[in-house]
Amino acid sequence: MELDFIRSDGISRAEDNITKPMANIANKFPENVPGKYYVDNQCIDCDLCRETAPNNFQRNEEGGHSYVSKQPENPEEERQCKEAKEGCPVEAIGDDGA
Ligand code: SF4
């Protein structure tokens, strides 16, 4: 009972969330298919997501950016989309869409 006050690691996690840029669903490109994953307007067209999850991300040639062309439909695609999200250098991929 005396040790309860020591557990305060929630504070550092909260600070991480504030400082780390995140994809914003309000800024997602209209080409994204409906669903969990999307690309927002921070995309710098680096190609990483299209290499990592080629079944799910495509390039908008005119706009010069990526978008989600298909939501993941199996565990392997889900893994690749998650990897793409984590690897995106500008946090332009979100997974909180609907
Ligand atoms: S990894 Fe990120 S910045 Fe690179 S093309 Fe994909 S969404 Fe755009």
Residue with CA at minimum distance from ligand 1 atom 1 = 88
Task: Report the number of distinct structural domains present in the chain.
Answer: 1
pTM: 0.81
Tell me if 66 is assigned to some domain: yes
CATH code of the domain containing 60: 3.30.70.20
Segments forming the whole domain that contains residue 53:
20-94
Residue 21: exposed, middle, or buried by beta-carbon count in 10 A (0-12, 13-18, 19+)? exposed
Q: What is the C-alpha to C-alpha distance for residues 43 and 78, in angstroms, rounded to an integer?
A: 20
Residue with CA at minimum distance from ligand 1 atom 4 = 46
Q: Quick: pLDDT tens for 80-98.
A: 999 999 999 999 999 999 8
3-state helix, strand, coil in the chain (%, to 5): 35, 15, 50
What percent of the chain stands above pLDDT 70? 80
Protein residues with CB under 6 Å of any ligand 1 atom: 39, 43-49, 66, 88-90, 92-93
